[in-house]
């Protein structure tokens, strides 16, 4: 089956978009043996840094990898050529690396990394469009065509393409949302986040991607188990976003911080070592997302390859 494309998006910052992207990438690769491509469209490059470390990110930039080159190809009216921009090895889990060494690869993670350069390239494009008197939405729609064409040859190589987006609607993130098969919305359980998440989610489905209305997977993250947060969680599920599919609620935990803090580029950790007590959440997250996908396409959920 061709890869499914899922954008992870919320206009609100710091709600766990990048962390959820990587938990899902690890979970789908580890428990389901999925081949996952992480596409980082945020110039903050957090998910790239979490997978590759600062040094790895710098090396990737020096080697000419990165999503900003895709935009440069667009600006130069060149057809997209994405294969050389991807780092095919962004696995941090020991079990996946060992299986690969034994030629028994089941589950893998690759990344199209980001860099701060992405924002500069985007601004140049915006300026170009502005001087031509063209609406920004036109830029997003041209970019959507370009990105869709870029991803087309990849859809047979991967099972899932996860797109991490910035906490604002950049032309490129808007383009990515419009070509996604579904979108994932991490949110906090507090009143400001509820309001913002509802507005954003409704706005996306009304203005950018009407086809995504029923394809929204919501994950409450960084949950502090207080009465206030429990009420907010219930409001989200039962009132504001009751027509959406909810994944497991992820608790606030220092393990989420350490899991995303890779000491160096040569370090690998077991799923237990990396996620500790959050391992159950990573498993439930990937399970519920796999079920969500299966329901959406009327196929049975994929088989688990590890417990």
Ligand X SMILES: Nc1ncnc2c1ncn2[C@@H]1O[C@H](COP(=O)(O)OP(=O)(O)OP(=O)(O)O)[C@@H](O)[C@H]1O
Residues 130-169 contacting ligand X, CB under 6 A: 167
- Which tokens hold the place of 123? 């601004």
Which entry of Mg ion, ligand X, none binds 15, CB below 5 to 8 A by partner kind? Answer: ligand X
Query: Does 6 participate in binding ligand X (rule CB under 6 A)?
Result: no
Q: In sequence order, what are the residues at sequence separation of 6 or more whose Cβ sits closer than 8 angstroms to the Cβ of residue 41?
A: 67, 114, 118, 163, 164, 165, 166, 170, 172, 173, 176
Instruction: Quote the least distance from Cβ 210 to Mg ion, whole Å.
Output: 26
* Burial call 226-258: b when 16+ CB within 10 Å, e when fewer: eeebeebbebbbeebbeebbbbbbbbebebbeb
Alpha carbon 137 to its chain's center: 22
By CB under 6 A, which span of 14-22, 53-61, 92-100, 294-302 interacts with ligand X? 14-22
Considering the complex, state which of residue 27 and residue 43 has its C-beta at the smaller distance from Mg ion.
43
Enter the DSSP assignment of 208. I
Which entry of Mg ion, ligand X, none binds 252, CB below 5 to 8 A by partner kind? Answer: ligand X
Considering the complex, state which of residue 76 and residue 257 has its C-beta at the smaller distance from ligand X.
257
Number of residues that bind ligand X (CB under 6 A): 19
Considering the complex, state which of residue 154 and residue 169 has its C-beta at the smaller distance from ligand X.
169
The residue from 157, 253, 276, 306 that contacts ligand X (CB under 6 A) is: 253
Residue with tokens 């949302």: 177
Residues 275-294 contacting ligand X, CB under 6 A: none
Query: Does 216 participate in binding ligand X (rule CB under 6 A)?
Result: no
Phi, psi of 157 (to 5 degrees): -95, -20
Distance in angstroms (rounded) separating the CA atoms of residues 136 and 48: 27
What are the residues binding ligand X (CB under 6 A)? 13-19, 42, 44, 46, 167, 221-222, 250, 252-253, 256-257, 260
């Amino acid at each position: 089956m061709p890869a499914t494309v899922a954008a992870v998006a919320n206009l609100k910052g710091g709600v766990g978009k990048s962390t959820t992207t990587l938990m899902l990438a690890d979970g789908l690769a580890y428990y389901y043996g999925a081949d996952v491509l992480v596409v980082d469209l945020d110039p903050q490059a957090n998910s790239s840094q979490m997978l590759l470390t600062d040094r790895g990110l710098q090396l990737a930039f020096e080697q000419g990898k990165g999503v900003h080159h895709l935009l440069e190809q667009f600006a130069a009216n060149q057809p997209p050529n994405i294969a050389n921009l991807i780092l095919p090895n962004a696995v941090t889990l020991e079990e996946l690396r060992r299986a690969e060494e034994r030629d028994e690869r089941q589950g893998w993670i690759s990344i199209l990394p980001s860099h701060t350069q992405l924002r500069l390239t985007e601004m140049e494009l915006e300026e170009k469009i502005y001087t031509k008197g063209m609406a920004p939405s036109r830029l997003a729609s041209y970019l959507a065509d370009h990105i869709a064409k870029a991803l087309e040859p990849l859809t047979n190589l991967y099972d899932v393409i996860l797109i991490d987006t910035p906490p604002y609607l950049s032309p490129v993130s808007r383009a990515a949302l419009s070509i996604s098969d579904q979108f994932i919305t991490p949110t906090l359980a507090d009143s400001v986040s509820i309001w913002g998440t509802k507005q954003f989610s409704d706005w996306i489905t009304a203005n950018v991607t009407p086809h995504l209305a029923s394809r929204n997977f919501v994950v409450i993250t960084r949950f502090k188990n207080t009465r206030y947060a429990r009420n907010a969680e219930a409001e989200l599920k039962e009132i504001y976003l009751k027509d959406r599919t909810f994944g497991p609620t992820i608790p606030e935990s220092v393990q989420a911080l350490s899991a995303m803090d890779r000491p160096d580029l040569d370090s690998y950790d077991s799923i237990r070592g990396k996620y500790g007590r959050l391992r159950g959440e990573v498993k439930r997250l990937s399970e519920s997302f796999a079920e969500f996908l299966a329901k959406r396409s009327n196929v049975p959920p994929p088989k688990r390859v590890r417990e």
